Structure 1
């Protein structure tokens, strides 16, 4: 059991090192040497766990996407279709991603992986696969509503992860809910 724990800690340290470097440098400019220096490990230790920096980045992104998927499944089990736009749903989503907030901030930031946003979009899309069939919505309206939801959720992830120490997640959740249910004008009190 001690070896597994040490392995997990080493991998976490390597992942955190890449996130630290991504906060300063573009991914393409980061080298394995920089990662091992930041992690204070040897190259052989790095290669024991990862084929290259791309596999490391992929593993970080997959962990976040798996957490998002699990949160979505839990929400689907807990809430009815009619309750999907409640403050509690959005709050639970953000709370489930709390431990990944720094990685989300960096990965969705200017130095992050541009494909990560698309991966999040694809995970969110799973929730809305049959929207048109369920509610007899036109293809244009279905597509535009999905795009709106993707953009607002991804931009909200960026805002939340960059400001989470100084904001109330419940207020963020309530704002998303109000925009989606009441519209922009009413959400800001006009």
Structure 2
């Protein structure tokens, strides 16, 4: 009997995910078939179906995995005492997640009603921000609502993150992001 931790199973699963992401960088999700994934991964259809019920199941599981990887960083972000602590944490997150660059960039552009990485991350950021601001009884010196701040924050973080991955930016981009956040959260 072969277990789910068997190295062959793990390698095949990663091969399927990588093939799927490569296809997503070339085609729209709706245009990709299971056969396309199998051809790209150099596997048979039965092997694909041993791992996933269909391309939607594959997408959903990948979005869930990446969303779960972000959760600890978002939680840490709003439990820090100052912006310098955040710089170190965010830099570590970027370095860790840059290993998943192809997957993240491919999945950020897929928007379906059942799996949407961009929307998941945006919601996590908004919730983390709102919880933080409510806990701190935060009132902006710019006289804008906390909802506006949190939605703006989430949009800014996601756009910055995507650009950082896409353009292979340096730590200077991280410093700019930190300065922008300091302005947004000024009270």
Please tell me the TM-score bracket, short chain as reference. Answer: 0.7 to 0.9
In the TM superposition, what are the counterparts of 1:119-134 in structure 2 within 5 Å?
A: 119-130=120-131, 131-134=133-136
Q: Separation in 1 of the partners of 2:127 and 2:64?
A: 16
Structure 1 unaligned spans of 5+: 184-190
In the TM superposition, what are the counterparts of 1:47-126 in structure 2 within 5 Å?
A: 47-73=49-75, 80-83=80-83, 86-109=86-109, 112-113=110-111, 115-126=116-127
User: 1:154 corresponds to which residue?
Assistant: 158
Change (3 A) 1:83 1:179: closer
Q: Separation in 2 of the partners of 1:2 and 1:121?
A: 32
Change (3 A) 1:70 1:136: closer
TM-score (norm 1): 0.81
- 2:77 and 2:89 in contact (8 A); partners too: yes
Change (3 A) 1:63 1:158: same
More RCO (CA 8 Å, sep 6+):
1
Instruction: Give a deviation string over 1:85-141, Cα, whole Å, max 9, x none.
Output: 7422321221221221111112224xx235221111122234223213522438961
- 2:73 and 2:90 in contact (8 A); partners too: no
Change (3 A) 1:83 1:26: same
Q: Root-mean-square deviation (CA), in Å?
A: 2.5
Q: Separation in 2 of the partners of 1:120 and 1:2?
A: 28
User: 2:23 corresponds to which residue?
Assistant: 21
User: 1:187 corresponds to which residue?
Assistant: none
Q: State the aligned residue count.
A: 176
- 2:130 and 2:147 in contact (8 A); partners too: no
- 1:69 and 1:123 in contact (8 A); partners too: yes
TM-score (norm 2): 0.82
Q: Separation in 1 of the partners of 2:75 and 2:135?
A: 21
Q: Separation in 2 of the partners of 1:175 and 1:152?
A: 11
SS of alignment partner, residue 158 of structure 1 = helix
